[in-house]
Structure 1
Amino acid sequence: MAFLSGCVEADFALVRDRCELSDSALSKIAKTLEEAGYIDVGKGRAGRKVRTWLALTPEGGNALAAHLDALQAVAAAARSSASTRLT
């Protein structure tokens, strides 16, 4: 989802290659995220080839932002705990 947050939509093959995933792994992830309403999966033609396009939904963007906020809170708590132990 983080990769998709930087674009309007992305070709399945581009996401697969940039995230270093197999076709089957990305297909499973995309299906799960689509069922959760976090991404849209669409098919279209690019020349003679059928392509699969992935796009982050507004709900997916909100979920990603909430996840990143939670990770930052965990990191801040760990930094605070570490500095307390050092003093």
Structure 2
Amino acid sequence: MGAGVGESLVEWPPRGAVGLDVAGLYGQLADLGLGYGPVFRGLRAAWRRGDDLFVEVALPDGADVEGFGLHPALLDAALHGMGLAGGQGGDARLP
């Protein structure tokens, strides 16, 4: 479970990971009552390898990043990958 200790992620996407379709994720979340503004729609790509999920996130150009060590919208977008796990019977998965 999880990337092995000392596993190098210099190859991206990780070897053996299969790309996931993220195009409709924010529409699906909106259908479940979870609306995200443009700064919080940062999930760009995702891959699965076994039980591991790898995601790419980014802030939109012009987002205010002043004063943040880790912008909260980036952290939130990284967690949006949980919505790709499936098997939730139409429920949203939140951390």
Structure whose alpha-carbon radius of gyration is higher: 1
Higher helix proportion: 1
TM-score normalised by length of structure 2: 0.23
TM-score normalised by length of structure 1: 0.24
